Amino acid sequence: MLPNTFVHLPDIGPVTERELWDSGVHTWEDFLSASSLPDRAERNAGQLRSLVAESQERLDEMDASYFSDALPRNEMWRLYAEFRDRAAFVDIETTGLSPDSSDITMVGVLDFQGYRAFVQDENMEDLRGALEEYDLLVTFNGAAFDLPFIEHKLGRMFAQVAHIDLMFPLRRMGLTGGLKAIEKRLKVGRPSALSTLNGFDAVLMWRMWRNGDKAARDTLVRYNAEDVLSLPKIAEIVYDGLTDRLDVPCAKLEPSDVPDVTLPFDEGVIERLAEMKVRR
DNA sequence: TTAAGCTGGGGATCAGAACC
DNA sequence: GGTTCTGATCCCCAGCTTAA
């Protein structure tokens, strides 16, 4: 979809991009070889041609931050096909909602090689270096929650990184609600006994682990892994759905193999969680 | 419960076309 | 050449939604 994109160019919005597509200019290559362009693009053709040529070069160099700067934020999903092999799917667990009064307990990072957990007081200091390996981050509501929370605690680190927050494209597709509700509607992931847990349970599991319940730590990590494992599947659905909606001839996204992540957890933790909630 | 950012609506601005 | 109209983009703001 990215080589079909023109809305990252100055003075080109969705209407002019549509005109280009309707006139047969479907790709950057079409743009550069076209003898004439629709009026609105023709006015500024010289500058646009050089920017389209630059876009081709930047894509050849896999420069995600160039497109991240130029694309409107609600069109970031267009980066997914080209950059998913350089993407990290990220989800954090915390002790509360406010970065001022709460701490990060763990961060789960998934790519197509596997899943890594960065846990407070274990290996959280490795997180920054780990995230620097990626050109693209994919989250659910990460623009408002996960990424600002991480930067609040660990310092600036995402200024140059492209980011797709799946929550907003999902809304455009008519899918509102939290991640778990959307997974259910899309029939994605989470077959395990942990499917009934929510973010507040993650807070409680962290407290249980701090109070000596060793199984709670592994169960928390497993809960987080199940959250991030659904993100690649949802990202594909978003990409395919919004690409279809734009109705422009473009390369189809090949389905990816999400790594098999099987982590141990103790069903006893879920029972102890339920007892804890009854007592509260 | 807090904070961030997206969405959508409305107004401002700009450029081109049409008309006198 | 000046005016008006139209359409697109940009900017701002309020409201909404979500995360643990």
Q: Is the CB of A43 under 7 A from strand B?
A: yes
**pLDDT recorded at residue A280:** 61
- Clarify whether residues A89 and A211 are in a common domain: yes
Residue A163 lies in a domain: yes
**pLDDT recorded at residue A52:** 87
Residue A10 has pLDDT above 80, yes or no: no
Whole-number Å distance, CA A44 to C1' C1?
A: 25
Residue A123 has pLDDT above 80, yes or no: yes
Residue A235 has pLDDT above 70, yes or no: yes
- Clarify whether residues A266 and A180 are in a common domain: yes
Choose the weakest-confidence range: A21-25, A122-126, A231-235, A275-279. A275-279
Is pLDDT larger for residue A117 or for residue A142?
A117
Residue A72 lies in a domain: no
Residue A226 lies in a domain: yes
Whole-number Å distance, CA A85 to C1' B18?
A: 52
Choose the weakest-confidence range: A204-208, A244-248, A270-274. A244-248
pLDDT tens digits, one per residue of A130-157: 998 898 889 888 877 888 788 888 887 8
Residue A16 lies in a domain: yes
**pLDDT recorded at residue A190:** 62
Residue A107 lies in a domain: yes
Judged by C1' against the alpha carbon of A7, the nearest nucleotide is C9
**pLDDT recorded at residue A279:** 66
Best CA proximity match to A174, nearest among A219, A113, A241 = A241
- Clarify whether residues A139 and A268 are in a common domain: yes
Cα A188 from Cα A169, distance rounded (Å): 17
Final residue before a domain boundary, out of A16, A32, A61: A61
Q: What percent of chain A clears pLDDT 90, i.e. is strictly above it? A: 17
A90, A146 Cβ separation under 8 angstroms = yes
Average pLDDT over residues A25-52: 80
- Clarify whether residues A56 and A136 are in a common domain: no
Environment class of residue A155 by beta-carbon count within 10 Å: exposed (0-12), middle (13-18) or buried (19+)? exposed
Cα A114 from Cα A268, distance rounded (Å): 27
- Clarify whether residues A87 and A36 are in a common domain: no
- Clarify whether residues A260 and A176 are in a common domain: yes
- Clarify whether residues A98 and A139 are in a common domain: yes
**pLDDT recorded at residue A115:** 93
pLDDT band of residue A243 (cuts 50, 70, 90) is confident
Mean pLDDT of chain A: 84
**pLDDT recorded at residue A43:** 67
Cα A202 from Cα A220, distance rounded (Å): 6
Whole-number Å distance, CA A34 to C1' C4?
A: 34
- Clarify whether residues A95 and A168 are in a common domain: yes
**pLDDT recorded at residue A108:** 92
pLDDT band of residue A25 (cuts 50, 70, 90) is confident
- Clarify whether residues A33 and A90 are in a common domain: no
Q: Which residues touch strand C (CB under 7 A)?
A: A 10-17, 40, 91-94, 96-97, 105, 140-141, 144-145, 167, 176-180, 198-200, 202-203, 227
Residue A50 lies in a domain: yes
Residue A264 lies in a domain: yes
Average pLDDT over residues A236-263: 84
Whole-number Å distance, CA A111 to C1' C4?
A: 57
- Clarify whether residues A118 and A201 are in a common domain: yes
pLDDT band of residue A183 (cuts 50, 70, 90) is confident
- Clarify whether residues A54 and A193 are in a common domain: no
Domain boundaries, position A251: 81-279
Residue A71 lies in a domain: no
Q: Strand B: which bases are under 7 Å from protein Cβ?
A: 1-8, 15-17
Residue A99 has pLDDT above 70, yes or no: yes
Residue A260 has pLDDT above 90, yes or no: no
- Clarify whether residues A47 and A113 are in a common domain: no
Whole-number Å distance, CA A148 to C1' B12?
A: 32
Q: What percent of chain A clears pLDDT 70, i.e. is strictly above it? A: 96
CATH number at residue A163: 3.30.420.10
**pLDDT recorded at residue A110:** 92
Choose the weakest-confidence range: A1-10, A170-179, A221-230, A259-268. A170-179
